[in-house]
Amino acid sequence: MSNPARQINNRRLPPLPGLGRRGTSPQTQRKSGGTNRHYGGATSPRDRYNNSYSSQQYDMVIQGHNTIGSASHHHNNNKSNHSTTSTDALCPFDLTPDAVTSFLNDNPEFLEKYVVRNVNSDQLERWIIKRTQNANKENGKRRGSDVENGINGESELRDGSGLLRWKMGHHPDKRKILQELTKDIHQHPNKAQVLSELTNCVASAINADGFNLYLVDENGRDLYYFKPNSNNTKNSTVWSGRIGNGGTLGAYIAETQEALRLTEVLGDERFPDGIAVGGETAQAVLAQPIIQTNSATLGVVELYRNAGNQQFTDEDEEICNSILVWGAFGIYNAEMYHGMTKQRKLNEFLLAVTKSIFQDIVSMDTVIMKIMNFAQKLVNADRASLFLVDNQTKELYARIFDIGNGLGAQPVDGQQKEIRFPMDKGIAGHVATTGNTLNISDAYGDDRFNRDVDAQTGYTTKTILCMPIYIRGSQKKYNIIGVVQMVNKTHGVFTKSDEESFETFAVYCGLALHHAKLYDKIRRSEQKHKVALEVLSYHSQCTEDEFSQYKDRVIPTTLPDVTLYEFSPWGVLNEDKPQYVLYMFKDIFNMSRFDISSLIKFTLTVRKNYRNVPYHNWSHAFSVAHAMYTVIKTTDNIFNPLERLALFVACLCHDVDHRGYTNAFMVKTASPLAAIYSTSTMEQHHFNHTISILQRDGHNIFKHLTSDEYKKVLSDIKHCILATDLALFFPNRAKLKDLCEKKEFSWEAQDHRRLIQAIAMTASDLCASTKPWQVQVSTVKVIFEEFYAQGDEEKAQGNQPIPMMDRDKAHELPQSQVGFIVGICLPCYELLANLLPGTQPMVDGANTNLKQWKVLVDEQKQKEEEKLKKETENGAKAIENKKD
């Protein structure tokens, strides 16, 4: 048996649970220097915690109460080599708690390593909680010198673990606290309640005996004390005072936005009133502002400890500041989130409103019904009314007076279609007059409320939200066009949020009502337009008597000289011209495909739709149609039947409803036609007027054509009529001339054929310049009379006309005609004759007239020279007479 003294001084610890035999301690190994013994298969708790790490297990040998030093570990394939001096074993009862405590106190690094490796965070946190709670219990007993001197390390715990106390003091899990606070913030964004809970957590974290929470109002001028345990949200705050110096501590902090730690509250001139609540027993005070991310003060927190307790430290202030900053940021984000959520719902609502209203703008009543229904849903009102403003009579009126209880519209009395009352009467009248929104929480307490309506209907009005509806008028001013009145919110009273939402909604109401009014105006205008067209159609088409007169006439089989270019259409009597048109039509086309009655009506109606202007009248249309007839007859049928039909009809209608003014004048004077047709104003009007004649009953001369033929003819007619605009002649001529010079023109190419059609239309339109001289001169005089009339009107408007239209420059007419024939007529006729040799007489006629105009120009120059010479001689004689 071993020596008892040796047993006491050299005890072996019992094996740890889960471990096999233990090796000898490193200390014994160093002392004895004995042989190595190998142990394997034992896995430490560290191995079980982290398989990637293998630690060496060794025995702890206690010699008396002395601790064994650190051992050097030699790893070899996860096995340990230890030296031992003894093989004696100690019994488990030989190990005492005092011995283990002494060992751990003398070897804190071992304890730290063991705890880090083998103790999980939850267990560690529970230990710290117990330690903190024990320290808090002993705190009251050891205030003052004991704490300062450091009894049992308590001062170290207070100083070193201050940042942890807020999360460990009375709450087992800091994360749960923050999660609950975050959940409260997002689910119930009541700033006061959340800040109160947050401040309570701060008070617990820094061991404060109490706290006060003050909130800053919306205007930023007043401070309100929040009652922490108030269940009545409306009465949970009490006015504390104005923000600024010379009052309470809270008012000062709200003004300066600086944190203060105080050991004496009273006697400070910055805040002579001290703490507003609970200041009687407070000795140490920590006051901090709650500042939002936009630098605005949200509130003030006062934390205090009563007399006899420790003062607040820097760490206490840091804890308080950290939590409050997080809380302010969380509240700000929560408000932003809820604001965005609310705005998203409002946007969805407004989108639904817009779709519904603007898809069904069929009448004002429909739009008003929808606006009232949506407004009622938006603010949860029991009833809704909409009144429109009559600016002429200064009245409010309504066709649909009330919507409520899901019963739909309450129509106005059947005897009257609408109700009216002065704009200066009642709440709606006040809003319509002033443009101010009214939110009335007690209708009977407001003198502007008209109680007669409730007396008649038996309905009790309690709350009212009344708002104007605007539209943007001229000069960027907003005009009130109506008033929407919401009555009796379903729960409580109408809030500021209701006002803001409804204000946005009112913008869409204004747009909807404005568009509905425009729709009504357009619809009425369309009806008026239809009536006007009906009247115009009746009075602008041939009568039955006119039709019967020409229907009974026999179309001649031949007409002398009608196919000659020298033939003067102006020599034909007006009553005979329709007969000539029928003859030319019959001569060119196969009449078996045409209805003679429709042809007669069409011709007579076209004649009736030419205005009585000096030149662009029915006689001009007849002359142009005859010129095209001559071109068609002398070109060996180079144009196909549909082209010939389009060319002839286009010439007959190319100036229908001409007003005697040029396109430039129509644009300059901002005529309605210029607003409709931006280019080739009159030509487009001529074509559209032609279509309107064809669409009249019994006037469609193309009804025998197939659908494709009909489309082709109308397309060619439009092309040909637009080609009579001289502004288009120059590019058309340039293209055609280029094709001819390059010898690329082909009659097989459709676009080439359309170019020759355009040139043929211009040639026919200017045919007066190819007629015999007497015809040419008389026609030019008529043309210039129309030009001078336009020039006179331009002068009356304060504008200077071009020389060709200036009556004061009539003596320049010959020179003007020379330029016209040389610059436009001859280039047109020469190009046409190059492709259609049968039109050469037009070139010859233009050249003959050009010579005559040049003679007149020379005579004009001679007269002017003689006049100038005579004036010079008279001037010289006058000078000589003065000398004598």
Active site amino acids = 616
CA distance linking residue 206 with residue 76, whole number of Å: 52
Q: Could you tell me which residues come within 8 angstroms of residue 206 by beta carbon, excluding any fewer than 6 positions away? A: 162, 165, 166, 286, 303, 312, 316, 319, 320
Say if residues 207 and 165 touch (Cβ distance below 8 Å): yes
Rg (CA), the chain: 54
CA distance linking residue 867 with residue 857, whole number of Å: 15
Say if residues 231 and 283 touch (Cβ distance below 8 Å): no
- Per DSSP, the three-state class of 543 is coil
Say if residues 634 and 726 touch (Cβ distance below 8 Å): no
Q: Could you tell me which residues come within 8 angstroms of residue 391 by beta carbon, excluding any fewer than 6 positions away? A: none
Say if residues 635 and 757 touch (Cβ distance below 8 Å): no
Question: For residue 345, with 0-12 CB atoms within 10 Å meaning exposed, 13-18 middle and 19 or more buried, which class applies?
Answer: exposed
CA distance linking residue 404 with residue 385, whole number of Å: 9
- Per DSSP, the three-state class of 277 is coil
DSSP state of 490: S
Q: ∠699-705-710 over CA atoms, to 5°? A: 85
Residue 488 carries which side chain, given as an amino acid letter?
A: N
Q: Phi first, then psi: give them for residue 216, nearest 5 degrees.
A: -90, 135
Question: For residue 819, with 0-12 CB atoms within 10 Å meaning exposed, 13-18 middle and 19 or more buried, which class applies?
Answer: middle
Closest CA to 86 of 7, 39, 13, 28: 28
Provide the 10 A C-beta neighbour count for residue 441. 14
Say if residues 733 and 835 touch (Cβ distance below 8 Å): no
Strands 381-390 and 400-404: antiparallel
DSSP state of 850: H
CA distance linking residue 324 with residue 392, whole number of Å: 60
Q: Phi first, then psi: give them for residue 499, nearest 5 degrees.
A: -60, -45
CA distance linking residue 61 with residue 203, whole number of Å: 49
CA distance linking residue 443 with residue 463, whole number of Å: 6
C-alpha distances out from residue 154 to 78, 101, 109, 823, Å: 43, 19, 21, 115
CA distance linking residue 149 with residue 142, whole number of Å: 10
Q: Could you tell me which residues come within 8 angstroms of residue 322 by beta carbon, excluding any fewer than 6 positions away? A: none
| The CA-based dihedral angle spanning residues 144, 145, 151, 153, taken in that order and rounded to the nearest 10 degrees | 70
DSSP state of 19: -
Structure tokens at 168: 């460990």
CA distance linking residue 834 with residue 727, whole number of Å: 22
- For 481, how many CA atoms within 13 A lie in the half-sphere containing its CB? 20
Range 293-321 burial, b when 16+ CB lie within 10 A, else e: eeeebbbbbbbbbeeebbebbebbbebbe
Structure tokens at 402: 């009330």
CA distance linking residue 535 with residue 540, whole number of Å: 8
Say if residues 290 and 297 touch (Cβ distance below 8 Å): yes
Q: Could you tell me which residues come within 8 angstroms of residue 572 by beta carbon, excluding any fewer than 6 positions away? A: 580, 622
